Each structure stands twice: as C-alpha cells, then as structure tokens.
Amino acid sequence: MNDRIREILSWYSTENPGVRTNLARMLNHGLLAGTGKMVILPVDQGFEHGPARSFAPNPAGYDPRYHYRLAIESGCNAYAAPLGSLEAGLSDYIGEIPTILKVNNHDLLNDEKDPISAVTSGVEDALRLGCSAIGFTIYPGSAERNTMYEELRDLIQDAKAAGLAVVVWSYPRGSALSKEGETAIDVVAYAAQIAAQLGADIIKVKLPSAKVEQAEAQKAYQKYEIPISTLADRVRHVVQSSFAGRRIVIFSGGATAADDQVFNEARAIRDGGGFGSIIGRNSFQRKEEDAVKFLQTIIGIYNGSIQ
C-alpha cells in the first residue's frame, strides 16, 4: 500500500473496512497497481445491445471465458459483467482478477423513450461469486429515474453492509434530453454529481462534449467562465463535480472508434485528472493478441510509460 492509494482510501473514511479493502484490491491489481488509475473491462453489451452486435466482430467473445482471460492478460484492474457471464467463466479464473457484478441490465427489444433497467441479480450473488463490487446503471433524465435512484439506494445499503464497493454507471438518457444532450458537459457533470450523492464509490460516465444542454446551466458556465473548450478541461470539470475529485471517476470507451481517437481520449482523461477508463467494445471486439496490445497501450498512457 503506497501513499497514493492511502490518500484515495482516506476519501472513503466513513466506509467500513470491507468496502475500503475491496477498493484497495482493485486499485492494487494489474499493471496500474498503486498508481491510483484504473482500466476496467466491462462486458454487459451482450445483454445491453444483443449478441451479434457485440460479439460477431470477434466470435471468441461469445465465450465468457474470453473476457476473463483478456482482462487478466492485459493487466486490467477489474472485470465487470452480468450474473450469467460471471458464472459461466468464473471456475477457470477464480481469484485471478477482481470482479464487479452488474446487478441491473437493460435490453433494446422495446424502444423506450424513458428507459429503466431491470434488477437482474443482487448482493448475495456478488458475495457468492467472490466479487469486489456491484455495478448499477442509472439514467438521469429518464422519467423513471426516481425508481432507479430508490433501487440503487437499497442496493448500496446492502452492498456496503456486506463490504462490497459500488460502481455506478451514470448515463443521462430520456425524453427530456436531446440526443446530443446526453453527453453535454453540464449534463454529464450533473450525472456524476448525482451518482456521488447517491453513494457511489466509483462513478462511470461518458466523455462529455462542449455542448451545454440546459439554458440555466449555460448562464452559470458563462458567468463563472468555466473552462470547457478542450476534452481535458471537460474531464477536469466532471471530476471536480464529483466532490472535488474525492470520488473515483472513470470514463466509458463508448462505441467502436479508431485507435488514435481512443488513445487521445485516454490522454485527455489523464491530463484532466480522470482516474481511468472502462472500455468494452473497443477492446473485446478484437482478436485476443490485438485486444491485449490495445488495452496495454491505454494502460501505458495512464502509467506514463507511453506519452
């Protein structure tokens, strides 16, 4: 345990020893161990987007064991997935990497303007599988958001009582937001603040654009001259909005993109004080050798071995 990890854990001083131990377990695992940075492999896309869209580009991904192996070989801090995927691959990789059970999920078979995810597993499942944390998605902006907030509150209470950390996917979405507004800087910063206020230990948000969605927010950004012109500026503001950087904030990799774009985004996250990336499709939709190299390049950007 080095000083940087002790500093981060000090931000969670009201959490019980189990939660802090599991945060330390993730922060001290993989190639970024001890740096305070994180790269997590999330594979909930089979449920969220469908199997062909998710795994046909690399058919090895249909097998949950591939994702365990990829997370381990590339040196990730943790691997996150829904219940079925963790159960199907765990026996081959017990104890080799911290895992995060995604306890709610959403499918695309019904077109919802105001989405809400179903709770598909729980704290007892996470404990049975030896997980370090649970993960939960909220959709700030959805008409169903209050139900999700209340579900999350109950799960957080149970998870933390059991010593599990909580990772919140905070993805603005709903009929009140424009499509571009889902990643507007004011909306993403607001979503990060909501996750922090709900008790998230680790907050996952999308990378924000320079657009400001809300008219009242625009007045504040202009009056106080909040810097948002560069991606690093916007990352810095989102981190600031998460209790002045006293909560771990990681950023989604999003849809498949060119390598240089993803690497430049990682540099902006690093330069803006972000804690890392949680990258799914951009990694697991590649053959294993290429995926490992890709993830290790991102890890290298965060640990300073690659500029």
Q: What is the spatial distance between Cα 151 and Cα 269, in angstroms, rounded to a whole number?
A: 30
Q: CA 182: distance to chain centroid?
A: 16
Taking alpha carbons only, the member of 153, 287, 119, 269 closest to residue 204 is 269
**Residue 80 β-bridge partners:** 42, 100
39: three-class secondary structure by DSSP: strand
Q: Quick one: 258 exposed, middle or buried, by C-beta within 10 A (0-12, 13-18, 19+)? A: exposed
**Cβ–Cβ < 8 Å for 75, 300:** no
Going from the C-alpha of 132 to that of each of 11, 33, 39, 62, 93, the distances in angstroms are: 18, 15, 15, 24, 15
Hey, which residues are catalytic here? 204
- Cα–Cα distance, 196 to 238 (Å, whole number): 11
Residues 6+ away with beta carbon under 8 Å from 110? none
